Amino acid sequence: MQQSSGRAERIKDEVARAIAEKMVEKLAERGGVIEEKRFAVSFLRFGADPRRAALKLLAADGRVRKIRHASSGKNLVVLAGTDRQKARDELSYVLALETALEKERRREMKPTVEEFGVGQSFFHWAEEARAGRVRIEDLPFRASAEDLGIETKAERERRERNVARMRRDAIARRGRGEPLVVKGAQELDRERSARSEKTAHWTRYPELRARLEAQSKSGRAAFNTARAAYVNSLPSLAHKLLHLLRRDGAAPEEAFVDLARSESPEHPMPLLVLKAAASELAEAGKVKKARHRRSGKVYLKATSPLDGRAHRRDLSRIVNSAEAAIPAFATA
């Protein structure tokens, strides 16, 4: 009886040590830190008791420690030697993800505009939202900014881009010694309508031509070309993927399939090439992966932002380099 009991204990100890090694590999793959509940989900198939035993072994050996965040109550499982900044980044990511999911859950519980009814109550709430006294998220029904006649974020960003483009054009004109041309809104609308009119010959695109001329005069075309040249100069798919994530922010994994296909045109499965590059970056702690609970899409996010000042210096060097030979826009 004692022999069988001792044998069972040895088997449990061996299982716990095997699970502990897998846990260390998982932590290393995630950059050395992961939230406790998400960590437990990765090892549900082993059962609760073997998981606890493995964590006790790792804690006793000093290879893993647990950190509790006082205000949120979240527990983080941290690999020994992991930077504290990574733990703070993981906590911020978990809290932001929970906030977004909770906001989406509450939104889905609200009735639509059709279900709520377009009556006096609807117009009252719409007026409150337009006046800025009530946020769209706090309305008692689901509605978009377009439904309420409010300027959307995309429209506001487009307006801000137009203002910035006019400012760059004015600075470029002043640098070339040309007079500043101030045009009214009606004149700008007429010019925009004239550019969008279809011409008889299919090879002429006045709207595209006007856009390229504006970019050339402001210097934007040269820097757009330099950005593409900089990405092409990076040595591997992993370098390009990391740079794009740092430059443009988080994006779904499927958005980079075409990039992987251009890097390995002979490979029949470009998605596998992309996943290998993303896993390489994740193991190095430079990229985080997250799966959307509802859509199932995998999102990628860089753990550190792009050094904007150094990147602008690199772009200026490419623009002014004779090797790059970036041509100026020439009118026909």
Average of pLDDT values for 313-332? 66
Top pLDDT among 190 and 129 is at 129
Encoded tokens for 59 = 């804690």
The pLDDT tens digits for 41-67 are: 777 777 777 777 877 777 777 777 777
What whole-number distance in Å separates Cα of residue 172 and Cα of residue 219?
8
C-alpha 273/C-alpha 240 separation (Å) is 13
Task: Look at residue 142 and give its three-state secondary structure.
Answer: strand
Q: Which H/E stretch holds residue 243? A: helix 237-248
Beta strands in 36-135 (DSSP E): 64-68, 75-79
Contact (Cβ atoms closer than 8 angstroms) between residue 110 and residue 142: yes
Of the candidates 299, 275, 277, the one whose C-alpha atom is nearest the C-alpha of residue 288 is: 299
pLDDT recorded at residue 332: 33
Give, in order, the Cα–Cα distances in Å from 124 to each of 112, 128, 166, 255: 16, 6, 38, 41
Counting residues of the chain whose pLDDT is more than 70, the rounded percentage is: 78
Tokens of 143: 């509605």
Average pLDDT score over the chain: 76
Q: Which of 72-81, 96-105, 284-293 has the largest mean confidence?
A: 284-293
Q: How confident is the model at residue 300 (pLDDT cuts 50, 70, 90)?
A: very high
Domains of the chain: 2-105 (1.10.10.10), 110-150 (no CATH), 183-218 (no CATH), 223-320 (1.10.10.10)
Residue 118, pLDDT > 60, answer: yes
Task: Tell me the average pLDDT across 136-151.
Answer: 71
- Answer with the residue of higher pLDDT: 269 or 318: 318
- Cα 29 from Cα 129, distance rounded (Å): 45
User: Between residues 52 and 300, which one has the greater pLDDT?
Assistant: 300
Whole-structure pTM value: 0.38
Confidence (pLDDT) at 329: 43
> Residue 98: what pLDDT?
76
Strands 287-291 and 251-252: unpaired
Q: Which of 95-109, 126-140, 241-255, 266-280 holds the top average pLDDT?
A: 241-255
Give the lowest-confidence range in 117-121, 196-200, 203-207, 308-312.
196-200
The residue written with tokens 């006019």 in the block is 166
pLDDT at 326 over 70: no
**Is the pLDDT assigned to residue 140 strictly greater than 70?**
yes
State how far Cα 264 lies from the chain centre: 24
pLDDT band at 241 (very low <50, low <70, confident <90, very high): very high
DSSP state of 152: P
Radius of gyration of the chain (CA): 28
Short-list 244, 236, 281, CA closest to 262: 236
pLDDT at 242: 92
Query: 15-24, pLDDT tens digit by residue?
Result: 777 877 888 7
